[in-house]
Structure 1
Amino acid sequence: MIPEDKIWLKHYPEEIPHTISYEDKALHEYLKQAASRYAKTSALHFLGKELTYEELYDQAKQFANQLQSLGVKKGDRVAIMLANCPQSVISYYGALMIGAIVVQTNPLYVERELEHQLVDSGAKVIICLDLVFPRVQAVRSKTSLEHVIVTSIKDYLPFPKNLLYPLVQKKKMGIKVEVEYDKNTLAFKDFLGKGSTKEVQVDINPKEDLALLQYTGGTTGPAKGVMLTHANLVINTSQCMAWMYKMRPGQEKMLAALPFFHVYGMTIIMNFSIMGGLTTVILPKFEVKGVLKTIQKQKVTLFPGAPTMYVALINDPDIQKYDLSSIETCLSGAAPLPLEVQQKFEKLSGGKLVEGYGLTETSPVAISNPIWGERRTGSIGVPWPDTDAAIISAETGEKADIGEVGEIAIRGPQVMKGYWNRPEETAKVFKDDWFLTGDMGYMDDDGYFYIVDRKKDMIIAGGFNIYPREIEEVLYEHDAIQEAVTIGVADEYRGETVKAFIVLKQGKSVTEEELDQFCRKHLAAFKVPKLYEFREELPKTLVGKILRRVLVEEEKEKHEENKVSNQ
């Protein structure tokens, strides 16, 4: 019998259970399980280098024991600032084994962003790439860091790539980083090599103990650490397993082009692959030709991505030269997936591509269209097993009627514990046990959900969440700027891109190029405005508040007019 408030369950394929019996395990226990079941199976494939599950588990244990030798204890925070590489998986699971809390850190962060995250989390150790070490070193004295563990992409490259890599990096990027090692600055390979492979015994309460602090921004105030428990992550990964029921444990190949430091790549690629005993084919960054070649050569079967990735692939002039027929399933996330992109990619690959919806606070996936079932145009789909979703009316604060627009709320065992050291911020986003997403949408009479707008002013560009206030604070630091406001505008490739509206101080001048250079000193590249418009004044309320929505509507009208004139 399907409950009246879960009408979406009637659209589940019969293979998907309405509820799941979850194991009461810490997340890292699944690596131990995979090493037992799939010992000789390739766990990681990295640019020609392979690690079996047996080897990966041993190296994670070595890392765990070495962290303990540094004095890292249960509950201590360990930051990981790496691109996709074997070291990121080893560090992640090794830290979890000793009960440490992982803090995923974007390698693109500039010093001010990095400093905030390290200070706020109180991280004692950071594992970073040599290329970002200068940034870590610049903020180190202002943080709680006791040890920095430095690695390089070449550390896990096969011969002779490992020898050629430094030369290629220097030639391509003009970068050669010299790291001075001492008792507090350690080389990853040496550090790992000294570790024992003995089992690490730390008591973990999966429902209460944190596995992860995943930072997410906000339209007000600095980025907040989302507290995700071992259970949150185990449950969301298990839900994904149920949703992708045709997946064959121990046999599939998963392409890791999404970054592991993003919660979506971390859960749907890294944790999912470990739980299922899959081979993760790792790419350190997304490059169209590299992805196409890898899919063809490695016969990749699973390819989670962001819409911009699929857009780039389908628009590559040489795509017909590559065999993508091995692809069976793709789950798109991090931004809305255009229907035409979905259809074209499915036609080119022969696989299924569906959109998932969620937030960092939901570990992250809460809603998706069925992969092998009814997909509805424009819909983000239906809630996953054990997940409730509802529309909360702005007028009444209660559940809205079918078809009525309101705020999407999520309730389920994958929802976060709260924000790190921010009980007031946590209270704002919960209504009883419902998490308020900030996204506006509606539900149809079959239980399919649709997003119509964001309550927050967040911009999603290329799958990255960008928060206007953060950019505006940087712009306001420029001595020529009197007023600044940023919005997301439509972009064929990135989904949205950042546009800044500027009012200059009287008698002052500044060029777009100068603002671009200024912003790049203070913001990660993906947050830097791509468009600028200088105005005499900005639209405001009677009390002087800038009307951001007026600018958004103006840009939408311009976009629609351009579409009509180009037809």
Structure 2
Amino acid sequence: MSVYDDKPWLARYAAGQPAEIAVEHDNAVDMFAASVARDPDGEIIRYFDGRITLRELDELSDAFAAGLVDAGFAAGERVAIYAQNVPQFVIAQLGTWKAGGIAVSVNPMNRERELEVILRDSGASVLVCLQGLHRDVADGVVANTEVRTVITTSELEYQTRGDQRVFGGVERVSCAGTVDMAEMIERHRGSVPPQVSIGPDDVALLTYTSGTTGPPKGAMATHRNVVFNAQTYRDWVGIGSGDVILGVAPLFHITGLIGHVALSLLVGAPLVLMYRLDPDVTLETVREEGATFTVGSITVFIALMNSPGAEKEALASLTKVYSGGAPIPPSTVKAFQDTFGHYIHNIYGLTETTSPSHGVPFGVDAPVDPASGALSVGVPVYNTVVRVVGEDGEELPPGEVGELVTSGPQVVSGYWNKPEETVRAMGGGRFRTGDVGYMDEAGWFYIVDRKKDQINAGGYKIWPREVEDVLYEHDSVREAAVVGVADEYRGETVKAFVSLRPGAGADAEELIAFCKQRMAAYKYPRQVEILDELPKTVTGKLLRRELRARE
């Protein structure tokens, strides 16, 4: 099926022009206010047995904002949010915007050193964190930063079910010297913060990159970025107020911030939160809540397939499924469709593109490149131009591999307090992604790999993803990650790390032989190591750098 069939607006790509949409709101606060006005009593957050309506979220975030202002918070200051997928994350983020502030999302897996780096770099004056994270991490860090106010909360708030599969070991903790969020909100309930002027180019979010090529950098996503890509998800997939959004991506990550939170605030659809991912709980939650849409890492969907409750009826309502953040093996897409009956649509973007810059149109199967076996990440989304360029910056024709350079309304305004790095990565309004790929004659894009991950074995260039895709075709392989390791003869050679499906009995020799039959002689892995679990980020992206460090 052509990408243009039954999608008339996509035909613009045939003429080299992206389909266009207009940004409907000046800022994310106005975007949310429009949803409140449409359906104030509609549910906007579901958290186990807890329910929050649009009207209630408006009141809760107003109270949070009023509490910030009462504590001396000024427009333009930063609020760091250090929490899992809980309602308080959304309340704090929205309340920060209402107070004219910038929300700084912090990975809840960060430890003392990592948290201190982000707090110091962002200059956050307020830290919102879970009680356990304050006790175990933040309490020893805050004194070394500019944080004036610490607001603590419990993941047990806003629900009464207390499912031990996700809350096991969680208890309420007394945090001396901090402000209790529930008490702060109750104290200011009914208050409305002073009105602030928020423009489309004002920074809404500081979202820190993973720091794989150096210290983490705070990407400055503006309100225009947030609103535009929330609309992109809405229109690209066809999301409305009748949908139910399943929050499987971490809210601190750009996918969760836009594909979950911002999308929910835009359309007024309920966002289902589960604190942290448990495959069995997720399957049960989809049944109970009738979830219809989600976007998450492919490792989430692999985990669901390997759950004891994996059966077609479990995800019957979840008809709109997207995955991004990590490469998707075609064999995994097929296995998911065989298990649950739904196709996983690829979507691609980076922190610096405020989530999607490319996507597979909903209802269309992405093509697979016959030469590399790579699944297409789709076509550029609305208002977006993507070029494939060579080493000297020249634009390459279809079929040739180069770096993807993206221009569009979703590209962030720069890196926080890093003007030189901003110019280097985004000079001239074109963001150099660092991802290597190509476009075919029909306009579909394919990601080959990250530039820094390429393996050079005796002069032969090997992309780890191609080897990983072959490994995923083996029935026993659950997850795979490939890295280059030192080799006396070739300088570098290919090593694969894999985890196996439950009950699988494949060994290293079998997996090497499997790849050898399917790949050029210089590509197949000479070494395979089987692990119980592969290291990955909280978003589910496999950490090749940790595997390289093992060697």
Matched with 1:139 is 141
Aligned partners of 2:25, 2:270: CA distance in 1, in Å? 25
Aligned partners of 1:456, 1:305: CA distance in 2, in Å? 24
Checking the alignment, whether the CA contact within 8 Å between 1:13 and 1:372 is kept in structure 2 is no
Q: Is 2:376 aligned against 1:379?
A: yes
Q: CA deviation at 1:153?
A: 1.1
Q: CA deviation at 1:389?
A: 0.6
Matched with 1:179 is 174
> How big is each residue's C-alpha offset from its partner over 1:70-109, in whole Å with a ceiling of 9 and x where there is no partner?
1111110100011111111100100011110000001110
Give SS of 1:148's match. strand
Q: CA deviation at 1:550?
A: 5.3
Matched with 2:494 is 553
Q: CA deviation at 1:500?
A: 10
Judging changes above 3 Å, is the alpha-carbon distance between structure 1 residues 157 and 453 closer, same or farther for their aligned structure 2 residues? same
Q: CA deviation at 1:255?
A: 0.7
Aligned partners of 2:330, 2:363: CA distance in 1, in Å? 17
Aligned partners of 2:48, 2:227: CA distance in 1, in Å? 28
Checking the alignment, whether the CA contact within 8 Å between 1:324 and 1:348 is kept in structure 2 is no
Checking the alignment, whether the CA contact within 8 Å between 1:292 and 1:322 is kept in structure 2 is no
Matched with 1:128 is 129
1:229 to 198, 219, 222: 222
Aligned partners of 2:123, 2:442: CA distance in 1, in Å? 46
Q: Is 2:401 aligned against 1:450?
A: no
Q: CA deviation at 1:374?
A: 5.2
Question: Please, which runs of 5 or more residues in structure 2 have no aligned partner?
Answer: 11-17, 369-374, 456-463, 498-507, 519-551
Checking the alignment, whether the CA contact within 8 Å between 2:312 and 2:339 is kept in structure 1 is no
Aligned partners of 2:478, 2:355: CA distance in 1, in Å? 21
Matched with 2:181 is 188
Q: Is 2:33 aligned against 1:37?
A: no
TM-score by length of 1: 0.78
Q: Is 2:434 aligned against 1:438?
A: yes
Judging changes above 3 Å, is the alpha-carbon distance between structure 1 residues 79 and 264 closer, same or farther for their aligned structure 2 residues? same
Q: CA deviation at 1:346?
A: 2.9
Judging changes above 3 Å, is the alpha-carbon distance between structure 1 residues 495 and 552 closer, same or farther for their aligned structure 2 residues? farther
Q: Is 2:273 aligned against 1:282?
A: yes
Aligned partners of 1:225, 1:194: CA distance in 2, in Å? 33
2:424 to 407, 428, 448: 428
Matched with 1:267 is 258
Q: CA deviation at 1:150?
A: 0.6
1:213 to 184, 206, 222: 206
Give SS of 1:149's match. strand
Checking the alignment, whether the CA contact within 8 Å between 1:302 and 1:328 is kept in structure 2 is yes
Checking the alignment, whether the CA contact within 8 Å between 1:126 and 1:149 is kept in structure 2 is yes
Checking the alignment, whether the CA contact within 8 Å between 2:154 and 2:172 is kept in structure 1 is no
Matched with 2:113 is 112
Matched with 2:66 is 65
Matched with 2:289 is 298
- Of the structure 1 ranges 190-199 and 221-230, higher mean CA displacement relative to structure 2 is found in 190-199
Matched with 2:7 is 13
Matched with 1:462 is none
TM-score by length of 2: 0.80
Aligned partners of 2:454, 2:142: CA distance in 1, in Å? 30
Give SS of 1:418's match. coil
Checking the alignment, whether the CA contact within 8 Å between 2:63 and 2:193 is kept in structure 1 is no
Checking the alignment, whether the CA contact within 8 Å between 2:487 and 2:493 is kept in structure 1 is no
Matched with 2:521 is none
Checking the alignment, whether the CA contact within 8 Å between 2:152 and 2:175 is kept in structure 1 is no
Checking the alignment, whether the CA contact within 8 Å between 2:301 and 2:336 is kept in structure 1 is yes
- Of the structure 1 ranges 132-141 and 315-324, higher mean CA displacement relative to structure 2 is found in 315-324
Give SS of 2:104's match. strand
Q: Which amino acid in the other structure matches residue 304 of structure 2?
A: L
Q: CA deviation at 1:22?
A: 1.1
Aligned partners of 1:113, 1:494: CA distance in 2, in Å? 30
Matched with 2:76 is 75
> How big is each residue's C-alpha offset from its partner over 1:241-272, in whole Å with a ceiling of 9 and x where there is no partner?
11012x3x221111112111111011001110
Checking the alignment, whether the CA contact within 8 Å between 2:313 and 2:340 is kept in structure 1 is no
Aligned partners of 2:449, 2:484: CA distance in 1, in Å? 20
Q: Is 2:387 aligned against 1:390?
A: yes
Aligned partners of 2:433, 2:493: CA distance in 1, in Å? 21
Q: CA deviation at 1:337?
A: 1.4
Checking the alignment, whether the CA contact within 8 Å between 1:367 and 1:384 is kept in structure 2 is yes
- Of the structure 1 ranges 557-566 and 79-88, higher mean CA displacement relative to structure 2 is found in 557-566
Matched with 2:372 is none
Matched with 2:404 is 408
> How big is each residue's C-alpha offset from its partner over 1:255-311, in whole Å with a ceiling of 9 and x where there is no partner?
112111111011001110111110111111111110111111211111222100111
Give SS of 2:128's match. strand
Aligned partners of 1:432, 1:30: CA distance in 2, in Å? 29
Q: Which amino acid in the other structure matches residue 280 of structure 1?
A: L
Matched with 1:4 is none
Aligned partners of 1:366, 1:559: CA distance in 2, in Å? 39
> How big is each residue's C-alpha offset from its partner over 1:461-513, in whole Å with a ceiling of 9 and x where there is no partner?
xxxxxxxxxxxxxxxxxxxxxxxxxx999586885559797xxxxxxxxxxxx
Give SS of 2:188's match. coil
> How big is each residue's C-alpha offset from its partner over 1:151-200, in whole Å with a ceiling of 9 and x where there is no partner?
00112122xx46x97x996xx44x65643434xx1111101111143443
Aligned partners of 1:195, 1:85: CA distance in 2, in Å? 21
Give SS of 2:176's match. coil
Matched with 1:533 is none
Aligned partners of 1:234, 1:194: CA distance in 2, in Å? 31
Matched with 2:28 is 27
Aligned partners of 2:109, 2:67: CA distance in 1, in Å? 27
Give SS of 2:348's match. strand
Judging changes above 3 Å, is the alpha-carbon distance between structure 1 residues 308 and 494 closer, same or farther for their aligned structure 2 residues? farther
Judging changes above 3 Å, is the alpha-carbon distance between structure 1 residues 11 and 205 closer, same or farther for their aligned structure 2 residues? farther
Give SS of 1:424's match. helix
Give SS of 1:272's match. helix
Matched with 1:357 is 348
Q: CA deviation at 1:447?
A: 1.0
Aligned partners of 1:402, 1:23: CA distance in 2, in Å? 34
Q: CA deviation at 1:14?
A: 2.6
Matched with 1:200 is 193
Checking the alignment, whether the CA contact within 8 Å between 1:369 and 1:381 is kept in structure 2 is yes
Q: Which amino acid in the other structure matches residue 63 of structure 1?
A: F
Q: CA deviation at 1:224?
A: 0.5
Matched with 2:57 is 56
Aligned partners of 1:234, 1:409: CA distance in 2, in Å? 22
Q: CA deviation at 1:434?
A: 1.3
> How big is each residue's C-alpha offset from its partner over 1:391-428, in whole Å with a ceiling of 9 and x where there is no partner?
0112x311111111110110001101011111111121
Q: CA deviation at 1:336?
A: 1.1
Q: Which amino acid in the other structure matches residue 145 of structure 2?
A: T
> How big is each residue's C-alpha offset from its partner over 1:432-467, in whole Å with a ceiling of 9 and x where there is no partner?
2211000111111111111112113499xxxxxxxx
- Of the structure 1 ranges 215-224 and 553-562, higher mean CA displacement relative to structure 2 is found in 553-562
Matched with 2:543 is none
Judging changes above 3 Å, is the alpha-carbon distance between structure 1 residues 401 and 142 closer, same or farther for their aligned structure 2 residues? same
How big is the alpha-carbon RMSD for the aligned residues of Structure 1 and Structure 2?
3.1
- Of the structure 1 ranges 300-309 and 320-329, higher mean CA displacement relative to structure 2 is found in 320-329
Judging changes above 3 Å, is the alpha-carbon distance between structure 1 residues 539 and 222 closer, same or farther for their aligned structure 2 residues? farther
- Of the structure 1 ranges 492-501 and 90-99, higher mean CA displacement relative to structure 2 is found in 492-501
Matched with 1:313 is 304
Judging changes above 3 Å, is the alpha-carbon distance between structure 1 residues 332 and 274 closer, same or farther for their aligned structure 2 residues? same
Matched with 1:243 is 236
Judging changes above 3 Å, is the alpha-carbon distance between structure 1 residues 499 and 342 closer, same or farther for their aligned structure 2 residues? closer
Q: Which amino acid in the other structure matches residue 553 of structure 1?
A: V
Checking the alignment, whether the CA contact within 8 Å between 2:242 and 2:269 is kept in structure 1 is yes
Aligned partners of 1:133, 1:417: CA distance in 2, in Å? 32
Checking the alignment, whether the CA contact within 8 Å between 2:228 and 2:409 is kept in structure 1 is yes
Give SS of 1:103's match. strand
Q: Percent identity?
A: 31
